[in-house]
Amino acid sequence: MIAFAEGTSTSPATRSNGYDVIVTGVDGRPEVFTDFRAHPFAGGRKSKVINSRGLTSNASGRYQFMLRDYAHYKAQLKLPDFGPASQDAWAIQLIRERRALPLIEAGLFAEAVAAVSNLWASLPGANYAGQPMRPLAKLQAAYLAAGGVLA
């Protein structure tokens, strides 16, 4: 559901179900990476300009993780790389930190989304300036289509 919300799993450029997607810049061209050894910006690549005001981002992967958080979660979770399993483990840890796992397990979808909305710009209530949010109903439909269960 998060990958659907962030647009990574549905990106026309992805060859890896969104795990390879880099944030789209002001040029509007989708971009992917192929080296999963580390966050694609970890080697010193400059962040991409993502709007006309000059805002930059290095959000990457299925869950659009920022480089500023990479070293912390790589060490905490002992992530061997930036591959799909590592990205999934990191996302689950973020959800766990927001105490949303019990909400998901209880089928309380809207409450779980609200609990993590500050982490992903595309979620309702995120309030990231200039970032579009997906409607809760569309997110719930994606969640159910992926096998999620509601209370």
Q: Which tens digits make up the pLDDT trace of 66-103?
A: 999 999 999 999 999 999 999 999 999 999 999 999 99
Looking at residue 123, its amino acid is: L
**Cα Rg, the chain, nearest whole Å:** 15
> Residue with structure tokens 């019990």?
102
Reading the block at residue 94, the tokens are 């973020």
Please pick, among 6, 31, 97, 105, the residue that the annotation labels catalytic.
Answer: 6
* Active site (annotated) includes residue 6: yes
Q: Is 57 helix (H, G, I), strand (E, B) or coil?
A: strand
Contact 30, 49 (CB under 8 A): no
Query: Domain 1-146, CATH 1.10.530.10 — does that match?
Result: yes
Task: Give the separation between CA 14 and CA 24, rounded to whole angstroms.
Answer: 12
Is the model's pLDDT at 129 over the cut of 70?
A: no
Burial class (CB in 10 A: 0-12, 13-18, 19+), 70: buried
Is the model's pLDDT at 52 over the cut of 80?
A: yes
Q: How confident is the model at residue 121 (pLDDT cuts 50, 70, 90)?
A: confident
